[in-house]
């Protein structure tokens, strides 16, 4: 990745690949930030495989 954050605590890791940003959460951190509710009106794109 071009830039990354969160490896020290590993609860929420952000990977910046310039045109794509990937967020990796532990379940507890994901529940705390409630991003699904924050972005509930956003377009959902599903991928069969990566």
Domain definitions of the chain by residue range: 3-38
* Mean pLDDT of all residues in 19-46: 87
User: Percentage of the chain surpassing pLDDT 90?
Assistant: 4
pLDDT of residue 39: 85
- Please state, in angstroms and as integers, the Cα–Cα distance from residue 27 to each residue in 17, 39, 45, 49, following that order: 23, 17, 21, 21
Dihedral angle, C-alpha 28, 15, 44, 49, nearest 10 °:
-100
Report how far residue 47's alpha carbon sits from residue 28's, in angstroms, rounded to the nearest whole number: 24
pLDDT tens digits for 2-11?
666 666 667 8
Tell whether pTM > 0.75. Answer: no
């Amino acid at each position: 990745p071009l830039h990354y954050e969160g490896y020290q605590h590993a609860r929420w890791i952000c990977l910046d690949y310039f045109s794509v940003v990937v967020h990796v959460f532990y379940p507890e951190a994901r529940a705390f930030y409630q991003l699904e509710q924050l972005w509930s009106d956003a377009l959902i794109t599903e991928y069969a495989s990566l």
